[in-house]
Structure 1
Amino acid sequence: MRRPVQRPTRPRLARLLACAAVAPAILVAGCSSGSDSSQDAAGGAASKSAGAKPSPTVEAAKYGKLPQPCEALAGKTVEELVPKAKSKSGTAGKSGDVQSRSTCSWNGLDGYQYRWLDVSFQRFESDATLGSGEKRAKDYFAKQIDATKSTQDAKDLKSGKGEGIGEESATFAYGLKKGKDDFRNQTVVARSANVIITLNYNGTGYEDAKQPNSADLLKDAEAAAKKAVEAVAAENEAGGKVGSATSGSKSPEPKSSSDK
């Protein structure tokens, strides 16, 4: 005997229809949730972009050029400080970038009196990471002072402040023994804006000749340093203010000059 097909009752049919209606609602909710997440991500990115800080800038360096080192001191000055110089035009030091660092030296023997003179220039660019050219020059000025004070085998070193030599300057006088001879050494370190000028002047009297007077040597060294500072300003008078304010390159920092 065949059993009759049992049809769902009305309550059971209502439950099935309710379940069928829930599934699309879940799918719709899932899509809606994904859309909101994308909008939130885009909004967050836009917020970060709007809040990004601009690249830092610093004041441009005052001086963009250096003078030719062997022309920074007039021929008359060289003749007075180094009589009978081997080369009146001087000997330029090697440099990979003469607009960042340059040097020149002169030496000569007049009878038994020997003299040596050298001048060096160090220019600093402004750099967004390292600071302004002037700040960097100030830092290097302090390093040059410390280096001179630490001159090996220096005797009776006396330091002072230069007068009217750049924006700040320092002077040093000391003795130095080289072989059997005693040398009188004078060093002047000066800063003019973003440029450091270091001038060394020394001498001795060979074969028991009279030793040069330290006070006279220092006076001559200070006068020559003033001329070197003036040469920097003169070189930049014709539109030389081209210092970069955002350059990423660092000017090379030379070792401290030493007396010969």
Structure 2
Amino acid sequence: MREGEPSEASETEADIDAEIEPEPDADADIEEGEHQARPRPGAGGQRGRALAQWILANSWMLLAAGAVMVLFNVVEFEPPEQVRLDEATVDLVGEAPAQEFDPQLPNPQAVQMRATLRLYPRVDMDVREVDPQIDAKARVLSQPVVTTIYAMNANIDQTVRLDGGELEIDIQLSGTPRLGEAARNEVPPLHLEQELTVTSRSKPWLGEAHEQVQLHTRGSLTDVEARPYRWVFVVEGKLFSLDLELYRGA
């Protein structure tokens, strides 16, 4: 190799250095991207702060509106639901179906008890005694029949709703049939130990319900097989009668 001429190794190293370019810094790009993706405070944040300031400044208006809504819900009322009927409830729509005694009782000691509740058209009618002509003008509200045996208690519980459910009449009758003394070869008479309670309950749309006992009696009834025993009572200007009958098999 002559002096003054460049060496081949130096030329090769220079070419390599010229061809190698610095690679881009990946971490720098990521940081720059993250910086670009970060939200900048703008109009959205300003609107949120303005809304919060408005709520704080007008909180008394919101409280007043809430109080008005609560007061409206408390004062508002709805009429009572339609009266629902069940086996022990009779609404004043038409007449109750007549319940007849069973002429063929399977037990020779069986006794049937029937209670007939009637409503009369006028309160001044004389219904102290059973009169078929006057009773034909009345409306039969309930007439349940229960079966028992000698010396065994039987209960009749009835609730009658009138005036769309604003007035209720509760009938609670408890009876125990017993045999009396009789001469030889004669059928012993039948008498009934009973207790009756008639309660009225008014349910107005406004105000509290009012309950009152209209009739309460207890004792021993005789000769009920021959003719019905009748109670008469008046509730809020309405005249009612309750007839009790007994029947025993032959």
Higher relative CO (CA 8 A, sep ≥ 6), structure 1 or 2?
A: 1
| Same-fold call, TM cutoff 0.5 | no
Larger Rg: 2
Higher helix share goes to which structure? 1
Provide the TM-score with structure 2 as the length reference: 0.31
